[in-house]
Every structure is written in C-alpha cells, then in structure tokens.
Chain A
Amino acid sequence: GAGVSQSPSNKVTEKGKDVELRCDPISGHTALYWYRQSLGQGLEFLIYFQGNSAPDKSGLPSDRFSAERTGGSVSTLTIQRTQQEDSAVYLCASRTGTRASYNEQFFGPGTRLTVL
C-alpha cells in the first residue's frame, strides 16, 4: 500500500513569510509525529498526535510553530513568520496501534524548507 507522503518536497520562502507543510499518513495509522532534521543532525521531535487525544506539543520550538490533524488523518504543520534558522528537513511519521504497542514508525520523504 501507499506509504507516508509529504508535500511539498521542497519549499523556498522568504524570511517573515508563513509556510504550510502537509503530511498524509498511512491509512489507518492513529499516531502521527512531526520531526525537524537540520543539516547533519539528528531528528528533533516537534509534535505527536494520537487518535482523538489532545496532541503533545512539547517539542514545538516556539509559538510560531503549530500543527493540526483533521479527521484523524492528514496533518498540517504551519510555521509563521519564518526565520532562517527554520531551514531544515521536516519529517512526518505515522504508526499504527494504541499506546504501548510496539509498532514501527514509518517516515515520509520529508519537506526540505529553505528560508532566504
């Protein structure tokens, strides 16, 4: 079946503009994660959605970052008033199962964001 997809694959924007990044998880996956990967670095957790529960936003670096997940499926990460330090690859991942079930995370291809 189809894997996790993300769009756009690349986004170049000017400092101060808002951007929206989209993630389509694998159908039926209740858990969805957003990560940020700066060049040559590890993955930094941003936000976690699990079913209809309130999201865990503890990883969002500032109030310029927000995310939503509509209908328990598609998710959008929004960055307002982008800064150059926001330049990174933004990865989305989804997994099936409830909490405490040891199921694999599947990653999307990422969106490479460049803020000029």
Chain B
Amino acid sequence: GENVEQHPSTLSVQEGDSAVIKCTYSDSASNYFPWYKQELGKRPQLIIDIRSNVGEKKDQRIAVTLNKTAKHFSLHITETQPEDSAVYFCAATPYNFNKFYFGSGTKLNVKP
C-alpha cells in the first residue's frame, strides 16, 4: 500500500517568513494530493490540492508543488501570519479515491 512521509514534524517561523512542508509518497498510482489544516480541537479542513497532471498550484499565500518523478510534493506558505499556526497534513490517494493516506502532520508555529 501507499506510504506517505511528512517533514518536518514541527516548524517554527517568524511572522512574515515563509514556511515549507514536504511530503513523499511511494505508490506511483497516487494521483491526487490534498493538504489539510487542523486547528487545535477542530476538524481538518482542505486548504489546497493538486492533481498529478499539474506541477504547481497557487492560491494567494499558499502554493503546492508536485514532482511525480521523485514522488514528492510540498506546501509553501508565504508571508506567514499567527493565524496560520496549526497542524498541517498532506495526503495522497489513487484515482478511485477509495482511501486517503495521510502524513503524520507538521505543527506550524508562527511567532508574532
């Protein structure tokens, strides 16, 4: 089955700096890669996603890049704000969406 690894497990940045979270996957059949933000005590919420036929996608301060050959994808947050502090999860799923494999999460702390 698929194995998704996520790094780093914790990340502390100063407000205004950029943050990068990286994930690798093992199954070449995976073709959809969502990222979720989970604030303390709340449910995960989708923040951005990317399909395997796209190399990069951007939404305001958030961007995701995908390297299919190397089987890794990354989340980039620019101009970080204190409200970006949360746990971020990457995930991978094959074309039929029968299961989502999640990374272990990155706790991002943005210091004001």
Which of A's residues lie within 8 Å of B, judged by CB?
31, 33, 35, 40-45, 48, 50, 56, 58-59, 91, 95, 99-102, 104-105, 107-110
Asked if B45 is at the interface of the complex by the 8 Å CB criterion, the answer is yes
A–B pairs, 24, beta carbons within 8 Å? A31-B97, A41-B105, A42-B102, A42-B103, A43-B89, A43-B100, A44-B102, A45-B99, A45-B100, A48-B99, A50-B98, A59-B99, A91-B43, A91-B44, A95-B97, A99-B97, A100-B95, A100-B96, A100-B97, A104-B34, A104-B46, A105-B34, A107-B43, A108-B43
State which size class the interface on B falls in. 20 to 34
A42 engages B49 (CB within 8 Å):
no
Please give the distance in Å from B87's CB to the nearest CB on chain A.
9
Which of B's residues lie within 8 Å of A, judged by CB?
1, 6, 32, 34, 42-46, 49, 51, 89, 91, 95-105
A107 engages B89 (CB within 8 Å):
no
B98 engages A48 (CB within 8 Å):
yes
Known: A56-B98, A56-B99, A102-B51. A110 touches B43 (CB 8 A): yes
Q: Taking CB as reference atom, which chain B residue is nearest A3?
A: B43
Chain A hits for B46, CB < 8 A: 104-105
Known: A31-B97, A95-B97. A42 touches B34 (CB 8 A): no
A107 to B89, CA, bound (A): 13
Chain A hits for B104, CB < 8 A: 41-42
A35 to B105, CA, bound (A): 15
A104 to B100, CA, bound (A): 12
A42 engages B99 (CB within 8 Å):
no
Chain B hits for A41, CB < 8 A: 104-105
A73 to B34, CA, bound (A): 24
Chain A hits for B101, CB < 8 A: 45
Chain A hits for B45, CB < 8 A: 107
Please give the distance in Å from B51's CB to the nearest CB on chain A.
6
Chain A hits for B98, CB < 8 A: 48, 50, 56, 99
Known: A42-B89, A42-B105, A43-B89. A105 touches B100 (CB 8 A): yes
Known: A105-B34, A108-B43, A110-B43. A33 touches B103 (CB 8 A): no
